């Protein structure tokens, strides 16, 4: 299947990669928590990692393995671990791989809850530098002997800054650092993580991967580009066998198993089903987002539109290279000062006022008063977030209906 196109591989992944029995076309959901072995020697071998198998479904189950196989195949990696949410994937991976006295470099434009989690890492004695990852020099300037990792998102939310992923990837190779990328905004269909030398991918499956706003999930995928023999924090217990697996083994044991944020087998199967149409949905979302952003850019009631697909976006050309000629499904705008943001949002009919993104439906959210409320006015202004800002996650509706909805809502303000 490796020579086939993206969606062909996806819709046939269960048959070819996971090979369910009895002619089942979907890999079946298995809800058993415990697993029986007729020979106790086999049970012991599975416990000791000498043989593949499942012993307790907090650590692994066949439904999770089936989803992990597909996610890993799409990235061409060496393995994947799934979690109950995107946040648990990020936090479990970082807690497993970092220790007191380590330094990490992270984007100053992080997803709000990831930004909040950084304060927990700081409390645990990890040094965190927040830098502008659109500028590789800002990353390079803060590197030191105890730097272990650089972490950034691909397209930041809500202002849509695009990280200079190619240059940062090169910098990480030069300095032998882990390069962890949150690709939630641009999953495999839009972005080839190995092209930018990313070592670990963190993804919220809740968003574009599952796609329908009815299931939570997260994943860590190892691209295989990082040499874990160079990483100082791998427990000696896990420095055994194939070194390409050391990092993921530690994330599985210290992260998934010990912290316990396991994805339920039902959710894993639901995500696998949603995943099959990911390319179709993302294609349509990106196309709709570009049409809407272009229309709003010249609208008399709009002050600014933030979308990488617009020629005046500071990283427009970088985005075009990185994301295969597409620019994602998220944009934000500032209404002209004096216009009533709440009346505008309350007037939208097709567009839903809700948090969340990467859905089949178009969603709108006032940013300063909701997801970035905890950050306070000073930090918001540093992040480029105005009080008039609305974030849109563009869905797959028919474009004329979306434009008409904006028009009638603008007429009310």
Ligand X SMILES: *Cc1c(COP(=O)(O)O)cnc(C)c1O
Task: Please give the Cα distance from 201 to 183 (Å, whole number).
Answer: 7
Total residues interacting with ligand X, rule: CB under 6 A: 15
For ligand X, the closer CB: 340 or 374 = 374
**Which residues, 6 or more positions from 339, have their beta carbon under 8 angstroms from its beta carbon?**
301, 388, 413
Give yes or no for a contact between 273 and 213, defined as CB atoms under 8 angstroms apart: no
Q: Which of 68, 108, 206, 315 binds ligand X (CB under 6 A)?
A: 206
CA nearest 94: which of 198, 165, 180?
180
**Which residues, 6 or more positions from 80, have their beta carbon under 8 angstroms from its beta carbon?**
68, 69, 71, 72, 219, 220, 221, 222, 248
CB of 88 to ligand X, least distance (A): 7
For ligand X, the closer CB: 164 or 182 = 182
Q: Which of 27, 109, 111, 323 binds ligand X (CB under 6 A)?
A: 111
For ligand X, the closer CB: 201 or 335 = 201
Binding mask 142-181 for ligand X (x = CB under 6 A): -----------x---x------------------------
Binding mask 62-101 for ligand X (x = CB under 6 A): -----------------------xxx--------------
Task: Please give the Cα distance from 138 to 409 (Å, whole number).
Answer: 41
Please give the residue whose beta carbon sits closest to ligand X in the complex.
Answer: 86
Say which DSSP state 33 is in. Answer: S
- Interface residues for ligand X in 176-205 (CB under 6 A)? 182, 184-185, 204
Kind plus residue range of the DSSP H or E element containing 250 = helix 246-250
CB of 184 to ligand X, least distance (A): 4
The HSE-up count of residue 125 (CA atoms within 13 Å, CB side) is 4
Place of tokens 């198993």: 257
CB of 186 to ligand X, least distance (A): 10
216 binds ligand X (CB under 6 A): yes
218 binds ligand X (CB under 6 A): yes
Task: Please give the Cα distance from 157 to 218 (Å, whole number).
Answer: 18
114 binds ligand X (CB under 6 A): yes
Give yes or no for a contact between 224 and 247, defined as CB atoms under 8 angstroms apart: no
For ligand X, the closer CB: 57 or 154 = 154
Tokens of 75: 């990235």
Q: Could you give the residue ranges of the DSSP H alpha helices within 103-182?
A: 112-123, 136-142, 165-175
CB of 179 to ligand X, least distance (A): 16
For ligand X, the closer CB: 215 or 234 = 215
Place of tokens 């500032």: 334
CB of 147 to ligand X, least distance (A): 22
Q: Which residues bind ligand X (CB under 6 A)?
A: 85-87, 111, 114, 153, 157, 182, 184-185, 204, 206-207, 216, 218
């Amino acid at each position: 299947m490796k020579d086939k196109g993206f969606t062909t591989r996806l819709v046939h992944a269960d048959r070819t990669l996971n090979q369910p029995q009895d002619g089942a076309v979907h890999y079946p959901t298995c809800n058993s928590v415990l697993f029986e072995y007729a020979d106790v020697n086999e049970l012991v071998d599975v416990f000791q990692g000498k043989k593949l198998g499942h012993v307790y479904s907090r650590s692994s189950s066949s439904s999770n393995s089936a989803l992990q196989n597909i996610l890993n195949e799409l990235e061409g990696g060496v393995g994947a671990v799934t979690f109950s949410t995107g946040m648990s994937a990020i936090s479990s991976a970082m807690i497993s791989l970092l220790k007191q006295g380590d330094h990490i470099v992270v984007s100053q434009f992080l997803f709000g809850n990831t930004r909040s989690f950084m304060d927990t890492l700081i409390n645990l004695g990890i040094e965190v530098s927040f830098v502008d990852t659109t500028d590789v020099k800002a990353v390079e300037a803060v590197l030191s002997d105890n730097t272990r990792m650089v972490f950034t998102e691909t397209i930041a939310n809500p202002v849509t800054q695009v990280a200079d992923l190619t240059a940062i990837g090169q910098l990480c190779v030069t300095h032998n650092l882990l390069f962890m990328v949150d690709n939630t905004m641009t999953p495999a269909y839009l972005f080839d993580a190995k092209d930018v030398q990313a070592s670990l991918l963190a993804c919220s499956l809740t968003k574009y991967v599952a796609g329908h706003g009815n299931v939570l999930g997260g994943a860590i995928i190892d691209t295989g580009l990082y040499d874990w023999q160079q990483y100082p924090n791998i427990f000696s217990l896990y420095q055994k066998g194939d070194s390409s697996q050391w990092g993921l083994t530690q994330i599985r044991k210290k992260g998934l198993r010990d912290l316990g944020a396991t994805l339920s087998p039902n959710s894993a199967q639901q995500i696998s089903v949603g995943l099959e149409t990911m390319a179709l949905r993302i294609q349509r979302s990106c196309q709709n987002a570009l049409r809407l952003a272009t229309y709003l850019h010249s609208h008399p009631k709009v002050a600014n539109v933030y979308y990488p697909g617009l020629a005046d976006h500071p990283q427009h050309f970088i985005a075009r290279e990185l994301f295969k000629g597409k620019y994602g499904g998220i944009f934000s705008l500032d209404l002209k000062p004096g216009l009533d943001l709440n009346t505008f949002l309350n007037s939208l009919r097709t567009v839903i006022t809700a948090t969340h993104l990467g859905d089949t439906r178009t969603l709108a959210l006032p940013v300063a008063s909701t997801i970035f409320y905890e950050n306070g006015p000073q930090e918001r202004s540093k992040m480029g977030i105005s009080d008039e800002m609305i974030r849109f996650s563009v869905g797959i509706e028919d474009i004329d209906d979306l434009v008409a909805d904006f028009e009638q809502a603008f007429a009310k303000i």
